[in-house]
Amino acid sequence: MATANRQTIKTQLHEIINDYDQFQQTIIQQKQNPHNSFLIQQVNQWETDSIEKIQQTAQQCRETLMKLTQKTINDVETKSVELSEKLKEIREENEIDLKHFQLKLTQITEELLQPSNISIRQDSQEFIKKISVISSFEQIQTKKNKFEQFGTTVAGGNGQGDKLNQLNCPQGIFIDNDGSIYIVECGNQRIVKWKLNSKEGQIIAGENGQGNQNNQLNWPMDIIFDKENNSFIISDMGNKRVIRYFDQNQQTIISNIKCSGLTIDKNGFIYACDFENHEVRRWKEGEEKGELVAGGNGQGNHLNQLNCPTDIFIDEDCSLCISERDNHRVTKWKKGAKEGIIVAGGNGQGDSLKQLDHPQGLFVDHLGQIYVADQWNHRVMRWCEGDEEGEVVVGGNDEGEQSNQLDSPTGLSFDNEENLYVVDFNNHRIQKYEKL
pLDDT > 70? residue 248: yes
Q: Check residue 25 and give its pLDDT.
A: 77
Q: Check residue 367 and give its pLDDT.
A: 86
| String of DSSP letters for 90-117 | HHHHT---HHHHHHHHHHHHHHHHS-TT
Could you count the other beta carbons within 10 Å of the beta carbon of residue 237?
24
Q: Check residue 100 and give its pLDDT.
A: 63
Whether the CB-CB separation of 218 and 239 falls below 8 Å is answered with: yes
Mean pLDDT, the chain, integer: 86
- Buried b / exposed e over 243-260, threshold 16 CB at 10 Å, is bbbeeeebeebbeebbbb
Residue intervals of the chain classified under CATH 2.120.10.30 are 152-433
Dist CA 80 CA 83 (whole Å) = 5
- CA nearest to 274, candidates 244, 319, 226, 235: 235
pLDDT > 50? residue 124: no
**Phi and psi angles of residue 243, each rounded to the nearest 5 degrees, phi first:** -120, 155
Higher pLDDT, 289 or 413: 413
Whether the CB-CB separation of 390 and 341 falls below 8 Å is answered with: no
- CA nearest to 211, candidates 238, 180, 232: 238
pLDDT > 70? residue 262: yes
145 SS3 class = coil
pLDDT > 80? residue 318: yes
Average pLDDT value for residue range 161-176: 96
Q: Check residue 74 and give its pLDDT.
A: 78
Average pLDDT value for residue range 280-291: 88
Q: For the packed helices 98-113 and 38-93, what is the interaxial angle rounded to 10 degrees?
A: 160
DSSP 8-state code for residue 41? H
Average pLDDT value for residue range 347-358: 97
**Residues present in the chain in total:** 436
pLDDT bracket for residue 247 (50, 70, 90)? confident
Percent of the chain topping pLDDT 90: 59
Give the DSSP H or E segment for 15: helix 2-32
Q: Check residue 295 and give its pLDDT.
A: 97
Q: Check residue 296 and give its pLDDT.
A: 95
- CA nearest to 277, candidates 263, 298, 262: 298
Indicate the range of 53-62, 87-96, 102-111, 216-225 predicted with least confidence.
87-96
pLDDT > 80? residue 32: no
pLDDT digits (tens, 9 = 90+) for 172-222: 999 999 999 999 999 999 999 999 999 999 999 998 889 999 889 999 999
Dist CA 396 CA 380 (whole Å) = 8
Dist CA 55 CA 42 (whole Å) = 20
Average pLDDT value for residue range 108-129: 60
Q: Check residue 36 and give its pLDDT.
A: 67
Hey, which residues does 292 pair with through a beta bridge? 281
- CA nearest to 180, candidates 415, 401, 429: 415
Dist CA 331 CA 320 (whole Å) = 8
Average pLDDT value for residue range 12-22: 75
Which CATH architecture describes the domain 152-433?
6 Propeller (2.120)
- CA nearest to 193, candidates 206, 207, 204: 204
Neighbour-count burial of 238, counting CB atoms closer than 10 A to its CB (0-12 exposed, 13-18 middle, 19+ buried): middle
